[in-house]
Structure 1
Amino acid sequence: MGRKKKPEVSEKQLLTSLKTLAEDNEDIVKSGIDFNDAFLLAFLRGRKYNLNVAYETIQKYVHVRKRKYVEFFSQLTPESLMYMYDMPRFMAILKHRDPTTGCLVGVLRPNRVEIGALLRKPFEDVLACCTLAADELIYVDDAIKNGLILVASGEGFGMTHFREISPNRIKTALDIMFHAYPFKVKQVHVVQCSAFVNTTIKIVMPFIPRKIRKRMIIHNTLETFHEFFEPNVIPSWLGGNRREEEDWEVYDYYFDRAALDHTEYYETLAKKLAEGID
């Protein structure tokens, strides 16, 4: 399991200090984001009880929403993305936890539907779904304490998907997903690599933080991937030993339900952000 660093100052004292910093920051107070104790604790624990780093990460969390990408977040609601949950599964958290580290495992693959035809804003809508899932992961102790393992499949990745990749979009995704959340990414597995995937990796690699690059594992075959994940815990499209219609058995649907349960909060937050756009 992930090692938990014990704070030199008590967790309760650090939480009080972080709460004071947040309450003294007008930008944070007026953001509309619910900075409850569980939320603040996640940033403390995820940043190994470094008060300053936890506070800086919260500031980034607010900044990307309120200023840097306010147009994106002012439209971010579960209701607006309902149509995507009816499409073939492109993103999920597995029920399986890595037995060595206790990490949660997130899987991502290119959508098998012709994305230009059915998705309104292909890259942005996929990023929006990932962001909603990350917001709910903040409240999952395993995700904060042990970290995440990400698995990206290149199956079906083609020119339509490749055209969605641009330096600005890559930077947006990294700013939001890697810099503004308290999670540690312990491994990134890329499997089923085609020529398009390899080209995309070369484009994306310079933008990825050095720590993450060192933790990336490229699999040319599923056999090497299965050295890390047994076929009985992964979906069929990753070489799992089940039929495609049975893939639902390996997915953890908590995060979909949690985001939908908090629809009112996300709608209120999006409205508040929209009102602040000049």
Structure 2
Amino acid sequence: MDQEKLLKEIKVFLDKGYDYEDTLKRMSFGQKEVMQLKERLDKLPNVPNVQEKLCLQYLNGTNGDVDEAEKRIQKYYEIKTSSPELFWNRDPDSEELQLTFKIQRIAALPITPDKSFVFIQRTVDPNTQIFNFDTVFKTFMMIAEYNMLIHGPQDGSILISDWNGTKFGHIFQPRISSIRKGLDFIQHASPLKTKAVHILNSSHLFQVLFSIIKPFMKKELADVIHIHTADMDYNEFFEKHVPRHCMPSDYGGDLPSLDELHAKNIETLRTMKEYYRLEELHFKSGIEKSSI
């Protein structure tokens, strides 16, 4: 597929999301910075044609700093093209992802009043032999990117991970290379600032995992990890961290159950099946561009 046609087809999906012009008016920067960033990126050999909406997301995440946004977008394309196990083959109907949907619950929750995306994850199948960190991370990023596409720039993101179903085998299944790449992407390539990570129903298992992954973490990320035990006070959690109206009923929140939210999120991903296929072609065009 030629580049012009590919970009037009991708734009069909991008246009379903937030209004670019209205969002730009709320930013501390303007179209000048967006075009300045885009013009720089268009000259780079390993970056395919970048949409203005992506530039807007990164400038929002860097408070309008064009230099920093350029670095992060370059890193974005670098990691995505070199880590197909985490970012490619994103067909929601594939056998690989269907299995992940069965053993995990992953969902986007409502945006908080302080403009934060909220994502929640829980393992529901105790069989560690079928757990696959790569596809869990892939699914999480699919849901996160869909919400960025639809809702536009926010002030950051909150990740909630429920460890109630986590077993010893789960924490030793991921390859160190995958953990390193995933953390590298979140810390250096994502347009979203991680405002908080909440570990629910934590046990000594999380401490074991944390000792493994801490060498790959920046202090800024390690400092926003909050550990909660099974006897936590959810009323305090709602007051200090995530409002009750943004949490599933399983946790005392006002939303439907996590099972219901998960199912709804998966159906949403299926509507984006063609977008994920086109996006992969877009990334591969950047590889071809750099090899010319």
2:134 aligns with one of 110, 124, 145? 124
Give 1:90's aligned residue: 105
Give 2:68's aligned residue: 53
How far is the alpha carbon of 1:138 from its aligned partner? Answer: 3.4
Query: Contact (CA 8 Å) 1:131, 1:177: kept in 2 or not?
Result: no
Task: Find the aligned partners of 2:91 and 2:184 in 1 and give their Cα distance.
Answer: 20
Give 2:148's aligned residue: 138
Residues 170 and 41 of structure 1: is their aligned pair in 2 closer, same or farther, counting only changes over 3 Å?
A: same
Give 1:12's aligned residue: 31
Give 2:247's aligned residue: 234
How far is the alpha carbon of 1:177 from its aligned partner? Answer: 2.8
Task: Report whether the alignment pairs 1:105 with 2:118.
Answer: yes
Under a length normalisation based on structure 2, what TM-score does the superposition of the two structures give?
0.75
Give 1:192's aligned residue: 201
Q: Secondary structure at the match of 1:17?
A: helix
Task: Report whether the alignment pairs 1:35 with 2:50.
Answer: yes
Q: Secondary structure at the match of 1:75?
A: coil
Q: Secondary structure at the match of 1:150?
A: strand
Task: Find the aligned partners of 2:73 and 2:165 in 1 and give their Cα distance.
Answer: 37
Task: Find the aligned partners of 2:263 and 2:98 in 1 and give their Cα distance.
Answer: 19
Gaps of 5+ in 2: 1-25
Q: Secondary structure at the match of 1:27?
A: coil
Task: Report whether the alignment pairs 1:157 with 2:166.
Answer: yes
Gaps of 5+ in 1: none
Task: Find the aligned partners of 1:38 and 1:178 in 2 and give their Cα distance.
Answer: 21
Task: Find the aligned partners of 1:14 and 1:248 in 2 and give their Cα distance.
Answer: 41
Query: Contact (CA 8 Å) 1:115, 1:160: kept in 2 or not?
Result: yes
* Range that drifts further, 11-20 or 257-266: 257-266
Residues 13 and 270 of structure 1: is their aligned pair in 2 closer, same or farther, counting only changes over 3 Å?
A: closer
Query: Contact (CA 8 Å) 1:93, 1:252: kept in 2 or not?
Result: no
Query: Contact (CA 8 Å) 1:187, 1:217: kept in 2 or not?
Result: yes
Under a length normalisation based on structure 1, what TM-score does the superposition of the two structures give?
0.78
Give 1:22's aligned residue: 41
RMSD between aligned residues:
3.3
Residues 13 and 241 of structure 1: is their aligned pair in 2 closer, same or farther, counting only changes over 3 Å?
A: closer
How far is the alpha carbon of 1:97 from its aligned partner? Answer: 2.9
Between the aligned residues of both structures, percent identity stands at 21
1:75 aligns with one of 89, 114, 126? 89
Residues 232 and 215 of structure 1: is their aligned pair in 2 closer, same or farther, counting only changes over 3 Å?
A: same
Residues 155 and 113 of structure 1: is their aligned pair in 2 closer, same or farther, counting only changes over 3 Å?
A: same
Query: Contact (CA 8 Å) 2:42, 2:50: kept in 1 or not?
Result: no
1:114 aligns with one of 107, 123, 127? 127
